[in-house]
Structure 1
């Protein structure tokens, strides 16, 4: 007869091999965040810029079958439950797609464009339209 320890190991291995253990852990994390959020002061309204960034990340996570990570992102960020329409997202980012690019997340195309830029010049990035916050300090810059 199997010991309790052997039984625990067998159940754990079975759940890991089926991919269920990771899903359960992610679901527990999402529920913990949700429970903690109930006691937190309301978060600031989701900016248009953050909405787009979060949607790019969510599309990437779901494409790669990280659906529980995507659910944690949505729960923590306040992202709408229903994903934004891809055509709307591409339009907002001023991105034109060909047939092959539509089979992968927009984030892949954006990264590919930056990495494979034909002119070899650096892409000029402008600062965020978000007001500076505690996580975006100017420490280490000349003011």
Structure 2
């Protein structure tokens, strides 16, 4: 007859081999985080920009098997449980993909584009988002003359 310790080991090994143990741990962490989250302090509304940024980060985390981090991001940010469709995300960002870029997260392609941009070190002028960063922070990025 198996001891309790042997039974625990067998269950753990079975759950690990099926890939379920990690998912359970991630779900438990997300639920603990949710339970500890101070519900008295409301979160700011999830803006369109934050939705897209969070989705880029989630896609990157899941691609790299950072499942715990992805589950906490989703729980903390209020991101929808079901990921956004990649084609929708690409359309929103006005990104055109080739077949090789579809095998990696969009964030890789965006970073690669800016790293390999051959415009002799010219800077990209960014405009402020529609989200306020906080009472003392400005949501605009200084222009080239700043």
> Shorter-normalised TM-score: what interval?
0.7 to 0.9
Measure the CA separation in 1 of the matches of 2:134 and 2:39.
Answer: 22
Q: Secondary structure at the match of 1:39?
A: coil
Taking structure 1 as the reference length, the TM-score comes to: 0.73
Measure the CA separation in 2 of the matches of 1:92 and 1:39.
Answer: 31
Gaps of 5+ in 1: 1-6
Q: Which moved more, 1:63-72 or 1:33-42?
A: 33-42
* 1:123 to partner: Cα distance: 1.7
Gaps of 5+ in 2: none
Q: Secondary structure at the match of 2:112?
A: helix
**Structure number with higher relative contact order (C-alpha < 8 Å, ≥ 6 residues apart):** 1
Aligned to 1:4: none
Q: Which whole-Å deviations, capped at 9, do the CAs of 1:72-107 have from their partners, x for residues lacking one?
A: 000000000000000000000010100000000000
Aligned to 1:127: 128
* 1:132 to partner: Cα distance: 4.1
Superposed CA RMSD: 2.6
Taking structure 2 as the reference length, the TM-score comes to: 0.72
Measure the CA separation in 1 of the matches of 2:27 and 2:114.
Answer: 34
Q: Secondary structure at the match of 1:82?
A: coil
Aligned to 1:3: none
